[in-house]
């Protein structure tokens, strides 16, 4: 069983919900840290959700980080241990996608 620490996501946000990371087949992932940065001169908001295999985003979708406001030119950081199973997906969105970056680190076990 191989365990690999890695950057799971390093990407800009989008105003619409987008897939940020999908757990590969025969793999379990553990999210260890999430940083959401805002490079805008204005506050912005962002959210992250966990989508299980085949699920479509809906109001009942489990929320990893609810919609939060991120002050101008700053970031939020969350340390956690969240297990994701094969084919689960992290989706996210940001109100000012061009200025928001998602950084998600963790471990993949396969």
| pLDDT at residue 24 greater than cutoff 60 | yes
The residue-averaged pLDDT of 46-67 equals 79
CA distances from 1 to 8, 31, 68, 110 (A): 19, 18, 37, 6
| pLDDT at residue 14 greater than cutoff 60 | yes
| pLDDT at residue 54 greater than cutoff 70 | no
**Domains in the chain, please, with CATH?**
3-109 (2.60.120)
| pLDDT at residue 68 greater than cutoff 90 | yes
**pLDDT at position 46:** 95
The residue-averaged pLDDT of 51-78 equals 83
Among the listed residues 78, 77, 72, 79, the one whose alpha carbon sits nearest the alpha carbon of residue 38? 72
Among the listed residues 99, 104, 103, 105, the one whose alpha carbon sits nearest the alpha carbon of residue 15? 99
For 97, list phi and psi in degrees, rounded to 5: -55, -35
Asked if residue 29 lies in contact with residue 8, where contact means CB atoms within 8 angstroms, the answer is: yes
């Amino acid at each position: 069983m191989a365990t690999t620490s890695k950057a799971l996501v390093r990407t800009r946000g989008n105003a619409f919900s987008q897939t940020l990371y999908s757990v590969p087949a025969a793999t379990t992932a553990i999210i260890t840290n999430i940083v959401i940065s805002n490079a805008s001169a204005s506050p912005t908001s962002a959210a992250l959700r966990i989508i299980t295999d085949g699920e479509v985003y809906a109001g009942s979708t489990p929320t990893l980080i609810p919609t939060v406001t991120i002050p101008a030119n700053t970031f939020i950081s969350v340390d956690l241990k969240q297990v994701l199973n094969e084919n689960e997906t992290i989706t996210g969105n940001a109100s000012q996608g061009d200025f928001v970056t998602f950084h998600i680190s963790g471990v993949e076990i396969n």
